[in-house]
Amino acid sequence: MLFPKLRELEVKELEKQYFNRPRKMKNELAKLDKRFETIENAVIPKVITVTIEWNKNKTWGNCPKATVRTSGNVFNSFESSRITGCGYCKESTAFAEAVNQVNGILKRLYSKKEKHPRTKNHKLFGYGSGYYNLPYFEGGVGVSCYPDIFKSMGYKMRHISGGKTFDVWEITKRWIK
């Protein structure tokens, strides 16, 4: 297994939650192992393109939906749901929901976290990288914090286009010699 220290931390959390429900604990451990296996076998993308389309809603104003396309050895596409509501950054919520589906990105996050399992995610990656044992992209925090997270993983994020009804972000792997 690629992430034994992270698994150990997650198992401790599950034991706290399900200490008196052994069957539920067994099921949750199976899900956790399957998730780690999926992420372990993921291909790390070289280029990620995030397209955010804005649609007008009578109740909530402009509502974003993000589409992520990865390229490199494998080409994939992921989508977020339509984000509604008010009082938080809807753009970063759509962005995070879509990017958190890319197992290659989670593999990079988990690999770095595995080397420093006791370090808080905010110190390791920056603001917006989650509060729990496993790092992830938080929604509602503003897209401006994501370049630092990607930079910590060896990527460069830039806004390449935008208009009234769309925004396009490109995340490329930096070549470090």
pTM for this one? 0.89
24 pLDDT band (50/70/90 cuts)? confident
User: What local confidence, expressed as pLDDT, does residue 177 receive?
Assistant: 41
DSSP state of 174: -
3-state secondary structure of 90: helix
CA distance 60 to 92: 16
Nearest to 62, CA basis, from 25, 93, 24:
93
Q: Residue 55 pLDDT > 50, yes or no?
A: yes
User: What local confidence, expressed as pLDDT, does residue 86 receive?
Assistant: 87
CA distance 132 to 10: 9
User: What local confidence, expressed as pLDDT, does residue 5 receive?
Assistant: 86
User: What local confidence, expressed as pLDDT, does residue 175 receive?
Assistant: 65
E strand intervals along 61-107: 61-71, 76-79
- Give the start-to-end residue ranges of the domains of the chain: 4-40, 47-173
User: What local confidence, expressed as pLDDT, does residue 139 receive?
Assistant: 92
> What tokens were used for 131?
């509060």
